Amino acid sequence: MRKLAGSKFSQKSKEYLFATLFFVLFALLVASLIVDHAMNRSSDARNTFVLDIQRGDSVALIGRKLVTGNVLSEDQLFRAYARITGLDKKIRAGEYLVPARSSVLSILTMISEGKTTTYRVRVKEGITMSTLLSELQSSSELRNDLPPFGSEDSHDAIKDSIGIETPFLEGVFFPDTYFVEKGTSITSFLGLTHRKMLEELRTAWSKRKDKLPLKSEEELLILASIIEKETGLAEDATKISQVFNKRLAINMKLQSDPTVIYAMGNSFNGNIRKRDLSIDSPYNTYMARGLPPTPIANPSRRSMLAASRPAEGDYLYFVARGDGSSQFSKTLAQHNDAVRKYQILRKSLRNSPL
């Protein structure tokens, strides 16, 4: 009899336990559905909000910013979920664009994964170091951490701070469009563009033709910068490279106007006069033979590849036609005829009534 009563009691206990467990699981399911709905429910915000999270900001402060920005109506769920899941320990500083009608979960995912806003910063083809630094220092997205630019000492300081691997500072930053976070230092940005330039330069050097007169990657970069400034039409780049490579091979002066303009610096007013071709400078390729000591600008990928793989031909001269293209000649007589032709054409176009 006692054994039977004990069995009945045990069966009732099991039924009670199962009922309680079912109720708890049901309650947890309902609660999770409610939380899930609340976490994924879009806010009523109709505009994109810029959320600026500073290093050390607490989850409570971030929640208040979201409420102040009308992204969330209240921040209790935001704070509670961040702490329960441990996401409050993973939040990263930075500027975030919070889209309109974002959910609590999407916001927390964004700021814990560091999906910060990026800004477009362009390094233009053919730009000089001084112009590039001026543009970067006036940018509102980048943080200026460079020493003053101008003296020889400042060049060395900048080279050291960026980690430049070339013997010169000019022409070593790859022209491209970069996307960076707001507050990125100019030093970090220039380091990024310099590493990209080294990568592109090594690629161009590895693809060079046999028997080029260029002795190193640095010389290729210098020639590429001259090609960059001489090229008006992309299709002419390899022909211009052919002219300069041939001149180097026979020890003929390059006679490149852009190198003279670089030597003139701020005194250049848009015109090169005959006396300017006689200025005493290693950059004046009308006077000095061979390449100038450094690049004269930041060359593009196209110009570096053109420098390493010049077109086939025996041209020694070229002159601008006035429409962006160039006329190439093999002899000085042909070149002089082309100069007279296109100078007269340019003068007639300038003097013709509109």
Q: What is the pLDDT of residues 263-300, one digit of tens each?
A: 998 888 878 888 889 899 999 999 999 999 999 999 99
Written as one letter, the residue type at 118 is: T
* Contact indicator for 185, 240 with CB cutoff of 8 Å: no
Within 10 A of 274 (CB to CB), how many other CB atoms are there?
Answer: 6
Q: How many Cβ atoms are within 10 Å of 124's Cβ, its own excluded? A: 14
- DSSP per-residue codes, 153-202: HHHHHHHHHHT--SS-STT-S--SEEEEETTEEHHHHHHHHHHHHHHHHH
Pairwise CA distance, residues 174 & 185, whole Å: 17
Q: What pLDDT does residue 273 have?
A: 86
Mean pLDDT is lowest, of 96-110, 170-184, 230-244, 292-306, for: 96-110
Are the C-beta atoms of 238 and 228 separated by less than 8 Å?
Answer: no
* Range(s) of the chain covered by CATH 3.30.1490.480: 42-116
Spatial contact of 172 and 295, defined as CB atoms under 8 Å apart: yes
354: exposed, middle or buried (Cβ count in 10 Å: 0-12, 13-18, 19+): exposed
- What percent of the chain is modeled with pLDDT above 90? 47
pLDDT of residue 14: 62
Mean pLDDT across 92-104: 85
Structure tokens at 205: 């050097």
Whole-angstrom CA distances from 227 to 141, 169, 186, 238, 302 are: 32, 18, 28, 9, 10
- pLDDT score recorded for residue 263: 93
Dist. CA 299–CA 212, nearest whole Å = 19
Model confidence pLDDT, tens digit, residues 11-30: 666 666 665 665 554 444 44
* CA 53 and chain centroid, separation: 24
Contacts 24+ apart (CB under 8 A), 142-151: 142/180, 142/183, 142/184, 142/185, 142/186, 142/189, 143/183, 143/184, 143/185, 143/186, 144/185, 144/186, 145/185, 145/186, 145/187, 146/186, 146/187
Q: Does the 42-116 domain belong in CATH 3.90.1640.10?
A: no
Give the model's pLDDT for residue 163.
84
**pLDDT tens profile 137-169:** 998 889 888 877 666 666 777 888 888 888 899
**Does the pLDDT of residue 349 top 50, yes or no?**
no
**Measured between alpha carbons, how far is 72 from 278 in angstroms, rounded to an integer?**
70
DSSP code at position 276: G
Is residue 347 scored above 70 in pLDDT? no
